[in-house]
Amino acid sequence: MGRQFFIGGNYKMNGSISSIKELVTSLNNAKLDPNAEVVIAPPSLYLLLAREHLRKGLEVAAQNVFDKPNGAFTGEISVDQLRESGITWAILGHSERRVILQEDNEFVASKTKAAVEGGISVILCCGESLEQREANKTIEIVTAQLKAVADKVKDWSKIVVAYEPIWAIGTGKVATTEQAQEVHAAIREWLKKEVSAEAAEKTRILYGGSVTEKNSGELAKQADIDGFLVGGASLKPAFYDIINSNQA
């Protein structure tokens, strides 16, 4: 396949100046799989701090970006501001923003379009609730989230998809290896049909949702799982084991 293994660490609304410095220093000194692409996403207040101290070869992501250029948008961050600051990625469509802040598919797609066209790569999150899974609507919900983006973005070379079942985020529950692979395979098939064969082949699809060093090795073996978007575990030494879980 040739898709580079990818690990994203989403710090969410956690951290302080001292703890971010400690996390970055520890990450800089850790023995990491040289073939893995690693991106960390601290809170916006610490993006520059992380970028300043993080070693070359490791990247920093914003946890959000707005879909308009610089202007009268209180509290938001623009694509230009991220790019000027050396921030090369943004996490968009995370379920916490979809659910808590009511971001709909169209808004997520608009932000993804603005980021990609402005030179920022995107970790595009998608996922279903427990009710939707139990109603056998997982693929329908996930592909609807992706279709909104495909309607606005034709070039997916700067997009990494992260499948995160909402019912498994921060709950300790994890989709079984078979459940995760099934959805990842369906996403890849959808990309082939709705975007292009090239996008299906090259787009990395990550799994997220209570990923730990204990389950990452088995998940990483699956044909369509190309890495992980890690939440709480990215704040712990276990993060290094997850980064290295694709090594033979």
Catalytic residue status for 94: yes
The single residue of 94, 103, 184, 213 carrying the catalytic annotation is 94
d(CA 192, CA 58): 30
Q: Under a CB-based contact definition with an 8 Å cutoff, are residues 213 and 241 in contact?
A: yes
- Count the neighbouring beta carbons within 10 Å of the beta carbon of residue 74: 4
Catalytic residue status for 53: no
The single residue of 59, 96, 128, 164 carrying the catalytic annotation is 164
- One-letter amino acid at 125 equals C
d(CA 192, CA 1): 15
CA quadruple 92, 32, 26, 76: dihedral, nearest 10: -10
The DSSP annotation for 61-84 comes to EES---SS-SSS-TT---HHHHHH
Q: Under a CB-based contact definition with an 8 Å cutoff, are residues 228 and 211 in contact?
A: yes
Give the residue numbers annotated as catalytic, written as ranges.
94, 164
